[in-house]
Chain A
Amino acid sequence: MTHRTDIRFILNGTEMSVPDVAASQTLLDYLRLNRRLTGTKEGCAEGDCGACTVLVGRLTDTGLVYAPVNACIRFLASVDGCHVVTVEHLSGADGRLHPVQQAMIDHHGSQCGFCTPGFVMSLYALWMQTPEPTEAQVETAVQGNLCRCTGYEPIIRAAVAVSRYGTPASDHLTTERETMTARLQSLQSDERLVSGPEDDLSVIPSSVDDLADCLLAYPDATIVAGATDVGLWVTKFMRNIGPAIFTAHLNALKTIDHQDTTLLIGAGASYTDCQDALSRHLPHLSRYWDRIAGWQVRNMGTVGGNIANGSPIGDTPPVLIALGAEIVLRRGNARRTIALEKFFVDYGKQDRAPGEFVETIRIPIPGPNTLNAAYKISKRRDEDISSVAVGIQITVEDGRITQSRIAFGGMAATPKRAVAAEDALQGQIWSADVFDAAAKALAEDFAPLSDWRASAEYRMLSAQNLLRRFFLEQDVATTAAVQLETA
């Protein structure tokens, strides 16, 4: 079989063809060290501060889509076939400042200036999508951007004012859209790419079937979807991830569909990709979703990856287990479907054989008799890892609880169902006392750990109280009284 060997993409206006790309080569280092595009900054190298934000444009099933991402934990190989836009590309050919830049200047949006290019890029992406955002939309768009100087107020003021400086219709990413689409189409290939040194090989499969083949050929390869976790293996632990198989370009792995009462999410769909389907079919997850990391990470990270990496504090497993989700695992052409809760065997151990990958997540769409909720507790409300997360699904018929599924993250070595609490609810009459009993039963289900995110005592107490909150929220009279963010 012949393989491509050069990563090809468009950097700002220029087509790049880079041979011999190691799997662990990050986009940020490439930009700063190889191209001397120093406007993109390294603040944390873990996807939390946003100083390295760039836009990546990719051809999807619906056309060319640009999204802000963290260059620090993005691998160069993963931008094959993409358009990478850095802050240097914003000013026009005449040197005039971009509307976002001018708004930031006029509102005193920079002080030390180090976070500023990253903010400019996030706000640029927001303006293209939502030219006249509300403050809340701006806050969501910059969850992944830290500023330590301004206190954010002037940045928010700038962001809501950008449309007064110009419209996206006249922006060059809009006016050059067709040309760029054609240029990117010419870079697409149906040939597998294998690049980089033997000990840090990059593999880009040509299709989902080829991915299955690649995994048979390299059964111990690192599967890199959004790289929001794997990226840190390189930047923080200095591990080489090769051989690595990159999947972010596989549109066929990102399809979101539903069959009757089951929602099917391709394992490669990013959190952002899922948002529309969730608001239609699983509205209780909409707000929860917005609290997963920051925008850049939601654009990169995938639900499949969040599951497959097996973390006990992943945001999606508890809420998906509560919904009764299943996953489809594929090896070669063989597929098997298992309940998601069975996938998490133990800390760091999942039911995934070498060469196997998560292909689809199957989520039963809740029926009309079910009450669903998802809660997350973290030290900081947004862009934080949960200390406790819970998904709850309760079926009530004629005032009696006929079924309950409650799954917690952060309470054990794996995402896990609260069996004793579920039993305490099973068959009982809907009442505060019953939920109180369920809350108390959590002490039988879990013996949480103390760490820097939370103490064991706090984890247990807040977990118990989340069940009490669930009860209170279902009563129209008390709903508003228990929700901090009703405004």
Chain B
Amino acid sequence: MKDTHSITGAAHTDRNHDSAIKHVTGRADYTDDIAQPEGTLHAYLGVSDVAHATLNGMDLSAVLAYPGVVGVLTAEDIPGVNDISPTGLNDEPVFPTDKIQFHGQPLFAVVAETRDAARRAAELARIDCAPLQHALDPIAAQEAGYPHVTAPLKLERGDVDTAFAGTANRITGRMAIGGQDHMYLEGHIAFAIPGEDDDVIVHCSTQHPSEAQHMVAHVLGVPSNAVVVNVRRMGGGFGGKESQMNLFCAVAAIAAKKYGRAVKIRPDRDQDMTATGKRHDFVVDYDVAFDDAGRIEAVGGTFAARCGFSADLSGPVTDRALFHADNAYFYPHVRLTSRPMKTNTVSNTAFRGFGGPQGVIVAERMIEEIAYATGQDPLDVRKANFYGGEGRNLTPYHQEVDDNIFDRLVSELEDSAAYRQRRKDIVAFNETSPVLKKGIALTPVKFGISFTATWYNQAGALVHVYNDGSIHLNHGGTEMGQGLNTKVAQVVAEAFQVNFERIKITKTTTEKVPNTSATAASSGTDLNGMAALNAVEQIKERLVAFAADHWGVAAELVRFAANQVHIGDLTLTFDAFIKQAYLARVQLSAAGFYKTPKIHWDREKGQGRPFYYYAYGAACSEVTIDTLTGEYRVERTDILHDVGRSLNPALDKGQVEGAFIQGMGWLTTEELWWDDAGRLRTHAPSTYKIPLASDRPRVFNVKLADWSENRELTIKRSKAVGEPPFMLGISVFEALSMAVASVADYKRCPRLDAPATPERVLMAVARMRDGG
């Protein structure tokens, strides 16, 4: 550990992911890599093969008779409450007792000596059930009179009906927006080790260890203090492991306690994709009024979502869709309603953006509609409707947009991407190119940062300084690849003014920090960075008081600088100083805490300040389509994205690039397809196609808006980065739309549904040519 004049891994510097070496050598341990105790058993889920039925009984004798099977778990084996609903609605059993509600629903678990035996045995169950009618999508569900899974939200401002009545131009339309599978490379997994009394330790891959802990306690009927949940790292999460791991943790823990042996459960990819939730698909009916110049006067929207059989997180997801249905634009009069529909499909869940992308894309669809109707460049319509100016800053949920940077952000990107000239060239190209057509679009995103469940906006951390000067860092956030641990350690290194290497990053565990929130809503660094900083400040305060007292100097003269501590004229190395503090019996450990200030939200009224601040970004994408087959290629994308004052520009840029590609995938090749029986047929990478390296834009320029600084007092004035750039993928979708519109001389909005697979593109071209 070489001490120099500046520290390694300071805040605002590029720093490799803390596990990079372990990643590339294969030495990073994921849950499935942890050495297993002697006698570890393996569980596997047995699932339904009908979408909706009355469950009369299960004959599991053949399962039990299979060689290697130790036992089965059904609802009767649950010692506590048969429920893993994350919001406490009691609508999601571990195993159902009377009704099957979707194709692929877990009905029981087999526990066997090997995973192979458990998998094979799970196929042998005979399920006695009486099929019922099923509804798979939100429209079918509405027609069948299905209920909402959770209370809908209404956001309203202004006088909507009058505004619509008095308008010259009005367009109504419907947009279908597909869902998305997370396709994290590491699937779900939980590994439970029983202990004495009620104790159980669960290693798993969850974004929400505290919830997993509470759920395991809940199903075991024991207090939370008996359950420890550990997460060192996940092989990707993206929201798919926020609540969905509860099932696997519950099954592993119940089995471990029942058999007194360690139990691991890992579904294969197909079961992972069929038995766990995804991004919600939406069908949105929109209604927009605007003046002749294309300025919006009123907006109406009904957002019906496929929620699946239970609520899970559908309430806050559909809420967030409404919160983002304005995107960058001021709606003078607005009424937005959510319809979180129950369907006979797997219960949908969190996914990067959490409903926000489905809201944003509808705002952009309305912009497109106006642009084609008024014969303008969509970018001009966008600009005409941006928030900003007298009386044009209030969102549909009555929060003031007071940190808007669109003018600078968008004009910089417009210039650096040469948008205007390229658009001109593309229009000219399309006139003379009979088969290939090009499109270009520059789309903005504004994304609200904070959990809308206000109590989630809290975090804890635990920092120990050992008497050799080494530092142990723990916080409530989980590492899923985003570099959270690296960034938080940078904050700690900066605050103590010590080298990054001195800080030991450890697994997230409910033993060290209790009652944590999910690592979600892009908030990981904002919350946990602040909590860790708070812990460091507490320790430093004690150290400063000790130094001032011990060496008789004023507290202001005690300074931490580059692995040293200056006390008046005296300089000690950090190690030597810590040793002195230890000998003087200074407490060298602290629990830090943080809660986001200023936010509040009244859901009944649809008013408040749900977001602490907004993150902004914009992307410009160019595509070429083949009007014979609908195939396409993304030629170029330019991105300018706002992360405030970046804690780690290299990692933030990685988040922006990755989120863009994932967002593009959502809107292009990633298609979820259920057959009429309710069976998901795109259930593994062979059938579900996420982007490949060759799908990324041929030219890809990504830049952080390095001049931006968070106006609020966030950690080092940075901004959250996980979700906002996901929506930059919408630029690809809109560029495809323009290319399609070219075949009818840009006179009509092509109304592409998402995802814009080659098939949808070709069919839209055919529709435009037919005048439909």
CA A384 – CA B695 in complex, angstroms?
A: 12
CA A151 – CA B666 in complex, angstroms?
A: 13
Chain A residues with CB under 8 A of B686: 44, 46, 48, 385
Chain B residues with CB under 8 A of A36: 35
Provide the A422-445 mask, 1 if CB < 8 A to any CB of B, else 0: 000000000000000000000000
B657 at the A/B interface (Cβ < 8 Å)? yes
CA A453 – CA B22 in complex, angstroms?
A: 38
CA A306 – CA B723 in complex, angstroms?
A: 42
A43 at the A/B interface (Cβ < 8 Å)? yes
Q: Are A377 and B758 closer than 8 Å at their CB atoms?
A: yes
Q: Are B684 and A46 closer than 8 Å at their CB atoms?
A: yes
Q: Are A380 and B695 closer than 8 Å at their CB atoms?
A: yes
Chain A residues with CB under 8 A of B632: 484
Q: Are B236 and A148 closer than 8 Å at their CB atoms?
A: yes
Q: Are A148 and B120 closer than 8 Å at their CB atoms?
A: no
A457 at the A/B interface (Cβ < 8 Å)? yes
CA A299 – CA B182 in complex, angstroms?
A: 29
Of all chain B residues, which has the CB nearest A150?
A: B658
Q: Which of A25-78 contact B (CB under 8 A)?
A: 29, 32, 36-46, 48-49, 51
Q: What distance in Å separates the Cβ of A10 from its nearest Cβ neighbour in chain B?
A: 19
Interface residues of B (CB under 8 A from A): 16-17, 19-30, 32-33, 35, 116, 119-120, 123, 182-187, 233-238, 268-270, 433-436, 480-483, 624, 626, 628-633, 650-651, 654, 657-662, 669, 671, 673, 675, 681-682, 684-687, 689-696, 698, 700, 702, 757-759, 762-763, 766
CA A482 – CA B698 in complex, angstroms?
A: 18
Q: Are A105 and B24 closer than 8 Å at their CB atoms?
A: yes
CA A138 – CA B693 in complex, angstroms?
A: 9
What 6 pairs across the A-B complex have the smallest Cβ distances? Answer: A39-B26, A112-B481, A114-B235, A113-B23, A151-B661, A111-B481
Provide the A96-121 mask, 1 if CB < 8 A to any CB of B, else 0: 01001100111011111111110010
Q: Are B269 and A45 closer than 8 Å at their CB atoms?
A: yes
CA A37 – CA B435 in complex, angstroms?
A: 52
Q: Which of A124-175 contact B (CB under 8 A)?
A: 138-140, 142-143, 145-156
CA A156 – CA B699 in complex, angstroms?
A: 13
A330 at the A/B interface (Cβ < 8 Å)? no
Q: Are B696 and A151 closer than 8 Å at their CB atoms?
A: yes
CA A97 – CA B22 in complex, angstroms?
A: 11
Of all chain B residues, which has the CB nearest A293?
A: B686
Q: Are B26 and A150 closer than 8 Å at their CB atoms?
A: no
A217 at the A/B interface (Cβ < 8 Å)? no
Q: Are B20 and A110 closer than 8 Å at their CB atoms?
A: yes
CA A332 – CA B762 in complex, angstroms?
A: 51
Q: What distance in Å separates the Cβ of B12 from its nearest Cβ neighbour in chain A?
A: 16
Q: Are B185 and A452 closer than 8 Å at their CB atoms?
A: no
Interface-located stretch among A248-256, A335-343, A465-473: A465-473
Provide the A385-418 mask, 1 if CB < 8 A to any CB of B, else 0: 1010000000000000000000000000000000
Q: Are B630 and A88 closer than 8 Å at their CB atoms?
A: no
Of all chain A residues, which has the CB nearest B632?
A: A484
Interface residues of A (CB under 8 A from B): 29, 32, 36-46, 48-49, 51, 86-88, 90-91, 97, 100-101, 104-106, 108-117, 120, 138-140, 142-143, 145-156, 235-236, 238, 377, 379-385, 387, 451-455, 457-458, 461-462, 465-466, 468-469, 472, 478, 481-482, 484-485, 487
Q: Are A154 and B654 closer than 8 Å at their CB atoms?
A: yes
CA A396 – CA B119 in complex, angstroms?
A: 57
5 of the cross-chain contacts (CB-CB < 8 Å) are A105-B24, A113-B23, A120-B26, A468-B628, A487-B698
Q: Are B24 and A484 closer than 8 Å at their CB atoms?
A: no
Contacts A101-B24, A484-B436 given; indicate if A150 touches B669 (C-beta within 8 A). Answer: no
CA A87 – CA B236 in complex, angstroms?
A: 20
* Most chain B Cβ neighbours within 10 Å, of A91, A150, A469: A150
Q: What distance in Å separates the Cβ of B31 from its nearest Cβ neighbour in chain A?
A: 11
Q: Are B26 and A43 closer than 8 Å at their CB atoms?
A: no
Q: Are B26 and A111 closer than 8 Å at their CB atoms?
A: no
Given contacts A29-B116, A44-B685, A481-B436, 16 further A-B contacts (CB under 8 A): A42-B32, A88-B26, A104-B20, A110-B481, A111-B658, A113-B23, A139-B693, A142-B693, A143-B693, A152-B661, A152-B692, A155-B693, A377-B758, A381-B631, A452-B675, A487-B698
CA A481 – CA B433 in complex, angstroms?
A: 7
Chain A residues with CB under 8 A of B693: 138-139, 142-143, 145, 147, 152, 155-156
Chain A residues with CB under 8 A of B481: 110-114, 149
Of all chain A residues, which has the CB nearest B272?
A: A44
Q: Are A108 and B26 closer than 8 Å at their CB atoms?
A: no
Q: Are A143 and B626 closer than 8 Å at their CB atoms?
A: no
CA A469 – CA B628 in complex, angstroms?
A: 7
CA A472 – CA B627 in complex, angstroms?
A: 13
Q: Are B671 and A452 closer than 8 Å at their CB atoms?
A: yes
CA A48 – CA B183 in complex, angstroms?
A: 12
Q: Are A40 and B26 closer than 8 Å at their CB atoms?
A: yes
Q: What distance in Å separates the Cβ of A234 from its nearest Cβ neighbour in chain B?
A: 10
Chain B residues with CB under 8 A of A42: 32
Select one of A461, A468, A481, A487 contacting B762, CB under 8 A: A461
Q: Are B759 and A454 closer than 8 Å at their CB atoms?
A: yes
Q: What distance in Å separates the Cβ of B416 from its nearest Cβ neighbour in chain A?
A: 18
Q: Are A379 and B762 closer than 8 Å at their CB atoms?
A: no
Select one of A32, A110, A112, A451 contacting B480, CB under 8 A: A112
Q: Are A112 and B184 closer than 8 Å at their CB atoms?
A: yes
Q: What distance in Å separates the Cβ of A137 from its nearest Cβ neighbour in chain B?
A: 11
